[in-house]
């Protein structure tokens, strides 16, 4: 197998970690957990797997400047900007076009930028096994996250028959065929999935070759494939048409559809590698505290923050502005202070953030806080 490629999808709306996250500075640009932006943590984890020139980051126009500022280890041209968001199928098609222009038979991973994974070594071992699997046969490899709770916020992947095993770094990794993809289940069903041991979380991590992806678009998503063909043409060594102009022309017309719906659920050559690394997508503020060491009362703080007579609060004060955030006699609150906005929300209500941001948007000049 020639050297693999890695394409990191760095998008997101910047809503769920408001006010730290903004449209131009979503979760992957924040050090939600750890000291570096999650995108940088992701880049650090994948760098041992591929040469820097083989690592791409796909992002959005509004985030491009900030993404370029943190992607220092890879060539500037490898940060590619989608002129408009068109869901994950289009992004995967763009990824395949970028990789295909460099290696028509290239194997590449598509990885989210904003997940928290501490065990980089296990992550790298799993990805190496997935690269080996994608090189061994014409399959679409998904990395399924071994579930730790009956979560209702993720799609699940049901394992089918055993397929092949790969030994990487002296560790054996078993890959199974995929029986089916299922959407976010109800609580009771999620409990059954967890108990069965047959189900894995779909975390949007895929490894495959350019020919396999392009064949899937041709077979299952012809309208997308037609648009993507123009992008592939613009990237062809013979043509070298300006990519940006092509994307601006083609992208707005691409169908909005997820790669799960467009390709994976319709394909019969999908296999799954159960993850051996820790994983958290840290979906919103309430998911943050477990990554920190709390005080004796269960409070997690950052920056200049004091909690008196309160328990299980998350209190983040902006670390540069020397502003003190003091919480007195409250429990289970999230308080996040930034230079221009402060959020106060009970943990149990954090999922209502979109309703709040509609109110903020309606304020005079409200866009400046989004």
Contacts with its own copies by CB under 8 A lie at 19, 304, 306, 308-309, 317, 322-330, 333, 335, 337, 339-346, 348-350, 352-353, 355-356, 359-360, 363, 369
Q: How far is the CB of 30 from its own copies (least distance, A)?
A: 18
In the complex with its own copies, which residue's Cβ is closer, 17 or 181? 17
DSSP string across 15-54: -TTTTT-BTTB-GGGS-SSSSS-HHHHHHHHHGGGS-GGG
- Residues pairing with 141 in the sheet: 207, 271
Report the candidate in 1, 10, 3, 27 with the shortest Cα–Cα distance to residue 78. 10
Give the chain's largest Cα–Cα span: 69
Q: How far is the CB of 313 from its own copies (least distance, A)?
A: 9
In the complex with its own copies, which residue's Cβ is closer, 30 or 39? 30
Q: How far is the CB of 283 from its own copies (least distance, A)?
A: 16
Q: Is residue 103 classed exposed, middle or buried when 0-12, 13-18 and 19+ CB atoms within 10 A define those classes?
A: middle
Q: How far is the CB of 96 from its own copies (least distance, A)?
A: 40
Q: What is the DSSP letter of 286?
A: G
In the complex with its own copies, which residue's Cβ is closer, 62 or 341? 341
The residue behind tokens 């222009």 is 101
In the complex with its own copies, which residue's Cβ is closer, 146 or 351? 351
In the complex with its own copies, which residue's Cβ is closer, 147 or 310? 310
Q: Are 213 and 139 in contact (CB under 8 A)?
A: no
What the block records as the tokens of 352 is 């209502």
Cα(199)–Cα(277) distance, integer angstroms: 16
In the complex with its own copies, which residue's Cβ is closer, 18 or 163? 18
Q: How far is the CB of 345 from its own copies (least distance, A)?
A: 4
Q: Is residue 227 classed exposed, middle or buried when 0-12, 13-18 and 19+ CB atoms within 10 A define those classes?
A: buried
SS3 79: strand
Q: How far is the CB of 315 from its own copies (least distance, A)?
A: 8
Cα(3)–Cα(42) distance, integer angstroms: 19
In the complex with its own copies, which residue's Cβ is closer, 221 or 330? 330
In the complex with its own copies, which residue's Cβ is closer, 261 or 369? 369
Q: How far is the CB of 344 from its own copies (least distance, A)?
A: 5
Q: How far is the CB of 331 from its own copies (least distance, A)?
A: 9
Q: How far is the CB of 368 from its own copies (least distance, A)?
A: 9
Q: How far is CA 125 from CA 108, 128, 137, 166, 229, in A?
A: 15, 5, 19, 10, 33
In the complex with its own copies, which residue's Cβ is closer, 223 or 319? 319
SS3 347: helix
In the complex with its own copies, which residue's Cβ is closer, 57 or 336? 336
Q: How far is the CB of 356 from its own copies (least distance, A)?
A: 4
3-class DSSP string for 134-191: HHHCCCEEEEEECCCCCCCCCCEEEEEEEEEEEEECCEEEEEEEEEEEECCCCHHHHH
Cα(172)–Cα(163) distance, integer angstroms: 13
């Amino acid at each position: 197998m020639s050297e693999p490629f890695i394409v990191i999808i760095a998008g997101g709306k910047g809503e769920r970690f408001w006010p730290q996250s903004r449209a131009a500075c979503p979760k992957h640009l924040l050090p939600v957990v750890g000291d570096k932006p999650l995108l940088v943590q992701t880049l650090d984890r994948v760098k041992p797997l591929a040469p820097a020139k083989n690592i791409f980051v796909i992002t959005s126009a509004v985030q491009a400047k900030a993404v370029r500022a943190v992607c220092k280890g890879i060539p500037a041209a490898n940060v590619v900007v989608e002129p408009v968001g068109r869901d994950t199928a289009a992004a995967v098609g763009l990824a395949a076009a970028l990789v295909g222009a460099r290696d028509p038979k290239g194997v590449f991973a598509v990885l989210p930028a904003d997940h928290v994974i501490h065990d980089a070594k296990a992550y790298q071992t799993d990805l190496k096994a997935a690269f080996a699997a994608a090189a061994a046969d014409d399959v679409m490899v998904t990395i399924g996250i071994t579930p730790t709770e009956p979560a209702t916020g993720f799609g699940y992947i049901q394992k089918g028959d055993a397929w092949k095993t790969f030994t990487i770094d002296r560790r054996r990794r078993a890959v199974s065929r995929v029986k089916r993809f299922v959407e976010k289940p109800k609580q009771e069903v999620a409990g059954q999935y967890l108990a069965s041991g047959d189900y894995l979380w779909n975390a949007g991590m895929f490894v495959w070759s350019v020919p396999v992806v392009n064949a899937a678009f041709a077979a299952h998503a012809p309208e997308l494939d037609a648009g993507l063909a123009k992008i592939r043409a613009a990237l062809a060594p013979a043509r070298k048409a300006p990519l940006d102009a092509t994307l601006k022309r083609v992208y707005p017309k691409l169908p909005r559809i997820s790669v799960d719906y467009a390709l994976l659920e319709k394909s019969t050559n999908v296999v799954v590698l159960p993850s051996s690394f820790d994983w958290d997508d840290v979906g919103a503020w309430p998911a943050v505290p477990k990554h920190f060491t709390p005080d004796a009362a269960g409070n997690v703080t950052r920056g200049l923050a004091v909690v008196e007579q309160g328990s299980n609060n998350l209190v983040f004060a902006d670390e540069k502005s020397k502003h003190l955030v003091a919480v007195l006699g409250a429990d289970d609150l999230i308080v996040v202070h930034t230079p221009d906005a402060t959020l106060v929300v009970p943990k149990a209500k954090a999922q209502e953030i979109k309703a709040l941001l509609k109110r903020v948007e309606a304020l005079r000049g409200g866009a400046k806080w989004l």
